[in-house]
Amino acid sequence: MEDQATRSYIGNIISLPDGYEVTFPDIPECDVKATPLQGLSLEKLQQTAERALYNHLLELSKCGKSIPPSEYLASQRSLDPTRYLRATIDLADLVTGAGSYAF
């Protein structure tokens, strides 16, 4: 269970014929796509997607906008761990701009 200081999101990793796509159901504007031609492995794609999520939430925080709730995660607890990544955002660090996050 999340406490009020953190919020967890999941990103679905989708394998495509020419690469991968990561979608964040709670925050669709953070979707990340990569093809092998871009030189990104699945691991690098995960890192890129996690960074995009964190940076997007940081920008929302800096603008005084609310951080979207992580409602999708609660409904998808049984997802196969190889098909999603979980990003836990420390909301206090977003407010201070400390920049820490854990995945």
* Average model confidence (pLDDT) across the chain: 66
Read off the CATH number of the domain in which 19 is found.
Answer: 3.30.160.250
Q: How confident is the model at residue 16 (pLDDT cuts 50, 70, 90)?
A: confident
Please compute the mean of the pLDDT values over residues 26-52 and round it to a whole number.
73
Can you give the pLDDT at residue 45?
74
Q: How buried is residue 59: exposed, middle or buried, by Cβ count under 10 Å (0-12/13-18/19+)?
A: exposed
Q: Which of 79, 78, 98 is nearest to 89 (CA)?
A: 98
How far from 41 is each of 33, 45, 47, 57, 61, CA to CA, in Å?
A: 11, 6, 10, 24, 30
Reported as a single tens digit per residue, the pLDDT across 55-67 is: 777 777 778 877 7
Number of domains in the chain: 1
CB under 8 Å to 12, separation ≥6 — which residues? Answer: 22, 23, 24, 25, 79, 83, 84
Residue 73 in this model has a pLDDT that exceeds 70: no
User: Is 39 within the bounds of a domain?
Assistant: yes
User: Is 96 within the bounds of a domain?
Assistant: yes
